[in-house]
Amino acid sequence: MSTPHGWNRIPASLEGASEEELSRCEGALLEALGAQGGRGGNTTLVRVLGWSSEVYWAIRDRLVDQGRLALGKGKGGSVRLLERDGFDATVDPISNGASSTAVVPSSPASMSTPGRMREDELYDPVARVLRESWASDKRYRDLVLEVTARQGKRETGGKWTRPDITLATMTTLLYVPGKVFDVITFEVKPADALDVTAVYGALAHRRAATRSYVWLHVTDEASRASAENLEALIAEAKRHGIGLITGSDPADYETWDEHVEAVRCEPDPQKLNDFISVQFSSGSKDELVKWMR
């Protein structure tokens, strides 16, 4: 595939970029996407364009706000071109039966799948990808994230009250007044623990969070052996509004697949406040207080 015209004039950072430079970036992304048939994976587009992730996410979001791109599913997330007239932004061709492998080709790095890992070994790589890729794909810019599983014997309220990873974010929407505050929890499970109790754990967290997810490590071996378990998990997650993500390599967003998007809810404000007080460190709580000022 040829590199989009003008790729060598794309700035390494968008800080202080002129409107002309931003427009050139938008054109390069649209051209690259057009060369892939109008839809493609985020990680593939970053590679094709040779941009930093920071530049890619910012330009992608500008085009989404302009109504020229729509977000899609598939491993690592995706985008697709929208026609100016007569388009339906609610339809995602990728999730509507098309294979994501045609849009998001595997890189050599993502072809090798790590073997079985203990749950505590999954926390750091999952947290890193949540912070660096997943949050950007979801358009979360201001965020704090902690591995909340590592709190020792500190009392947090009983069974299933302590998420493995917790993320807080403040989002400003272009056409909606005010700011949206979210606390998102993640229950992380290794390949040998694929059962519906993970969904119930996430459901317990949602009593004091706006969204809750289960993240499952699904190796090639595990996926063959537990296909029925995974189907049951997906069905149960959908029934309760719990998000469900699988990944064969916890450190590679291109292997992540979001089968169910978490439904947003509004918990009791006092429960949310108490949850933040118990789960987050002092530094994170100080950062959250700054957001509220």
**CA neighbor of 104 nearest in space, from 162, 48, 180:** 48
CB distance 212 to 243 below 8 Å: yes
| Rounded Cα gap, residues 84 and 87, in angstroms | 7
Q: What is the pLDDT of residues 256-282, one digit of tens each?
A: 999 999 999 999 999 999 999 999 999
| Rounded Cα gap, residues 276 and 270, in angstroms | 10
**What pLDDT does residue 160 have?**
59
**What pLDDT does residue 72 have?**
84
Per-residue tokens: 90: 């609610």
Per-residue tokens: 94: 């990728």
Q: Given the DSSP bridges, would you call strands 179-189 and 78-81 parallel, antiparallel or unpaired? A: unpaired
Q: What is the mean pLDDT of the chain?
A: 81
| Rounded Cα gap, residues 199 and 162, in angstroms | 14
**What pLDDT does residue 7 have?**
42
Predicted TM-score (pTM) of the model is 0.72
Q: Which fold has domain 7-105?
A: Arc Repressor Mutant, subunit A (1.10.10)
Q: What is the pLDDT of residues 5-34, one digit of tens each?
A: 444 445 556 777 788 888 888 888 999 888
Q: What is the mean pLDDT of residues 132-141?
A: 90
Q: Decide which of 109 and 129 is more confident.
A: 129
CB distance 60 to 29 below 8 Å: yes
CB distance 103 to 93 below 8 Å: no
CB distance 147 to 165 below 8 Å: yes
Per-residue tokens: 150: 């590592």
**What pLDDT does residue 199 have?**
93
Instruction: List C-alpha distances in Å: 230 to 100, 205, 225, 236, 270.
Output: 19, 21, 10, 10, 35
Instruction: List C-alpha distances in Å: 80 to 16, 42, 76, 96.
Output: 28, 10, 14, 13
Query: For every residue of 214-235, which 3-state class applies, written as one string?
Result: EEEECCHHHHHHCHHHHHHHHH
**What pLDDT does residue 17 have?**
75
| Domain spans in the chain, listed from the N-terminal domain onward | 7-105, 119-292
The CATH architecture of the domain made up of 119-292 is 3-Layer(aba) Sandwich (3.40)
Residue with tokens 């987050």: 280
Per-residue tokens: 286: 């100080």
CB distance 174 to 200 below 8 Å: no
Q: What is the pLDDT of residues 210-260, one digit of tens each?
A: 999 999 999 876 555 567 788 889 999 999 999 999 999 999 999 999 999
| Rounded Cα gap, residues 70 and 82, in angstroms | 7
